[in-house]
Chain A
Amino acid sequence: MKRSKPTNSANHSSPPNSVVHSREDLRALQRTMTSALFRPLDTRWGMQKTWADGRPTREVAAEFIKPNDRLSSFERLEIYNRQYWFRVLDCLHDDYPGLRAILGAKKFTQLATGYLAKYPSNSFTLRNLGERLEEFIREEPGRTAPHEPLAVDMVQFEWAQTVAFDGPSKRPITADDILGKAPDQLTLGLQPYLSLLSLNYAVDDFLVAVKRRDEDALRGEASNAIHSAPRASRRKPVRRPKKRQIFLAVHRYENQVYSKRLEPEEYQILAALARGETVAAACETAIAQTAKTDLDWTETVKNWFDTWTALGWFCLPQ
Chain B
Amino acid sequence: MPANEFNGFTDYGIGIGLRVPHYRHILAEKPVVDWFEIISENFMVDGGRPLEVLDEILEQYRVVQHGVAIYFGSADHLDKTHLKKLKRLVRRTNTPWLSDHLCWGSIDGRYTHDLLPMPYTFGVAKHTAEKIKAARDYLEVPICVENVSSYAEYHASEMTEWEFLSEVVELADCGILLDVNNIYVSSKNHSFNPYDYLDNIPHHRVGQVHIAGHSKFEKYLLDTHDHPVLDPVWKMYAHAMKSVGNTATLLEWDDRIPTFNEVHREALKANKFRQSLVAAK
Scoring B residues 31 to 47 as 1 if CB is less than 8 Å from chain A, else 0, what string do you get? 00000000101101111
Kindly state whether residue B281 has any CB partner on chain A within 8 Å.
no
User: Do B225 and A255 have beta carbons less than 8 Å apart?
Assistant: no
User: Do B50 and A121 have beta carbons less than 8 Å apart?
Assistant: no
Scoring A residues 60 to 73 as 1 if CB is less than 8 Å from chain B, else 0, what string do you get? 00011110111101
Contacts of B74 in A (CB 8 A): 30
User: Do A29 and B68 have beta carbons less than 8 Å apart?
Assistant: no
Which secondary structure dominates chain A's binding surface?
loop
Contacts of A18 in B (CB 8 A): 155-156
Q: How far is the CA of A244 from the CA of B167 in the complex (A)?
A: 64
Partner of A222, one of B41, B158, B191, B220: B41
Of residues 7 to 66 in B, which have CB atoms within 8 Å of A's CB atoms? 19-21, 39, 41-42, 44-52
User: Do A66 and B104 have beta carbons less than 8 Å apart?
Assistant: no
User: Do A222 and B113 have beta carbons less than 8 Å apart?
Assistant: yes
Q: How far is the CA of A33 from the CA of B154 in the complex (A)?
A: 11
User: Do B115 and A224 have beta carbons less than 8 Å apart?
Assistant: yes
Contacts of B121 in A (CB 8 A): 6, 20-21
Scoring B residues 110 to 149 as 1 if CB is less than 8 Å from chain A, else 0, what string do you get? 1111111001011110010000000000000000000011
User: Do B69 and A124 have beta carbons less than 8 Å apart?
Assistant: yes
Q: How far is the CA of A193 from the CA of B21 in the complex (A)?
A: 24
Contacts of A235 in B (CB 8 A): none
Query: Would A37 and B46 be within 8 Å (CB), given that A3-B163, A224-B68, A224-B254 are in contact?
Result: no
The segment from A97-105, A162-170, A206-214 found at the interface with B is A162-170
User: Do B107 and A168 have beta carbons less than 8 Å apart?
Assistant: no
Query: Would A4 and B191 be within 8 Å (CB), given that A70-B219, A221-B39, A222-B113 are in contact?
Result: no
User: Do B48 and A69 have beta carbons less than 8 Å apart?
Assistant: no
Scoring A residues 183 to 194 as 1 if CB is less than 8 Å from chain B, else 0, what string do you get? 000000000110
Kindly state whether residue A50 has any CB partner on chain B within 8 Å.
no
User: Do B255 and A225 have beta carbons less than 8 Å apart?
Assistant: yes
Kindly state whether residue A115 has any CB partner on chain B within 8 Å.
no
The segment from A83-91, A260-268, A279-287, A289-297 found at the interface with B is A83-91
Partner of A26, one of B75, B110, B202: B75
Kindly state whether residue A27 has any CB partner on chain B within 8 Å.
yes
User: Do A1 and B166 have beta carbons less than 8 Å apart?
Assistant: yes
Contacts of B166 in A (CB 8 A): 1
Q: How far is the CB of B27 from the nearest CB of chain A, in Å?
A: 13
Of residues 98 to 148 in A, which have CB atoms within 8 Å of B's CB atoms? 120-127
How many contacts A-B (CB < 8 Å)? 203
Contacts of B160 in A (CB 8 A): 4
The residue among B75, B160, B190, B252 with the most chain A CB atoms within 10 A of its own CB is B75
The residue among B47, B200, B202 with the most chain A CB atoms within 10 A of its own CB is B47
Scoring A residues 143 to 181 as 1 if CB is less than 8 Å from chain B, else 0, what string do you get? 000000000000000000000111111000000000000
Kindly state whether residue B222 has any CB partner on chain A within 8 Å.
yes
User: Do B223 and A224 have beta carbons less than 8 Å apart?
Assistant: yes
Contacts of B202 in A (CB 8 A): 1
User: Do A223 and B254 have beta carbons less than 8 Å apart?
Assistant: yes
Query: Would A65 and B152 be within 8 Å (CB), given that A1-B163, A167-B47 are in contact?
Result: yes
Q: How far is the CA of A127 from the CA of B44 in the complex (A)?
A: 11
User: Do A33 and B254 have beta carbons less than 8 Å apart?
Assistant: no
Query: Would A31 and B111 be within 8 Å (CB), given that A68-B191, A71-B219, A225-B255 are in contact?
Result: no
27 A–B contacts, CB within 8 A, in A order = A1-B163, A1-B166, A4-B160, A6-B159, A15-B155, A17-B154, A20-B121, A20-B124, A20-B154, A23-B127, A25-B156, A27-B108, A68-B189, A76-B151, A79-B151, A79-B152, A120-B110, A122-B111, A124-B79, A126-B113, A192-B46, A221-B254, A221-B255, A224-B252, A225-B224, A225-B255, A252-B48
9 closest A-B pairs by beta carbon, nearest first, are A168-B46, A27-B75, A166-B48, A21-B123, A166-B45, A223-B254, A20-B156, A76-B152, A225-B254
